[in-house]
Amino acid sequence: MQPYRFSPIKNREELLEAIKHTHFSCFELCKKVFGDYLPVAGNIGIFCHYDDEYKFLTKIREELTDFKINWNQKYFLLNEPIVIPAKGDVPEATYTYLYIRQPDKDKPQVGDIDFVLDKEKFNELKNLSLEGESMNGVEIFYRPDLDMVRLSKTDVDVLPYITTSYMIENVI
């Protein structure tokens, strides 16, 4: 039995399955915390767990993205956006930037996405996280290095982040 749900990812179809899993699981946590869905910032990250997997997925990312348009040499503009259709009450979402994260033994998750929240509600959420609070069984952790709030739950293998801007705003 492999220790990670999708790793090692060996082809584009498995990458797409990991993306879909990340999408739907992040939306589930978002709704658990906020009682509704937030809009996505437009980026999705997939976490590698093996060096060979990282090399392979980086090659795929190079085929799927424009190397010249990126944020922090990390999130690369997709040549064709990834659109995940609505399913049940989960709304359709479009991802325009892709990140392939290097292996990190301390991060067993499948991936992450960012949701956008208005500044006032974001500050309230940030204050809750600084006070060590959780909401509806979901841990809230402030990342001062990114000015983002991370949501996590022990039995969920994705990490949704909350920010106040869309990815396109960061790149311009």
Is residue 162 within 8 Å of 149, Cβ to Cβ?
yes
pLDDT at position 171 is: 76
Rounded CA separation 95/83 (Å): 6
Name the 3-class secondary structure at 95: strand
Q: How far from 47 is each of 53, 58, 117, 157, 169, CA to CA, in Å?
A: 10, 11, 24, 11, 24
pLDDT at position 1 is: 32
- CATH class (in words) of the domain with range 12-167: alpha beta
Rounded CA separation 127/142 (Å): 9
Q: What is the pLDDT along the chain (172 residues), one digit of tens a residue?
A: 356 889 999 999 999 999 999 999 999 999 999 999 999 999 999 999 999 999 999 999 999 999 999 988 899 999 999 999 999 999 999 999 999 999 998 889 999 999 999 999 999 999 999 998 899 889 999 999 989 999 999 999 999 999 999 998 877 6
Q: List the chain domain ranges.
A: 12-167
Task: Mark 43-77 as b/e (b = at least 16 C-beta within 10 Å).
Answer: bbbbbbbeeebbebbeebbeebbeeeebbeeebbb
pLDDT at position 52 is: 97
Name the 3-class secondary structure at 45: strand
Backbone phi and psi for residue 134, each to the nearest 5 degrees, phi listed first: -130, 160
The residue among 167, 162, 150, 152 whose CA lies nearest residue 119 is 162
User: 100: how many CB neighbours lie within 10 A of its CB?
Assistant: 26
pTM score of the predicted model? 0.94
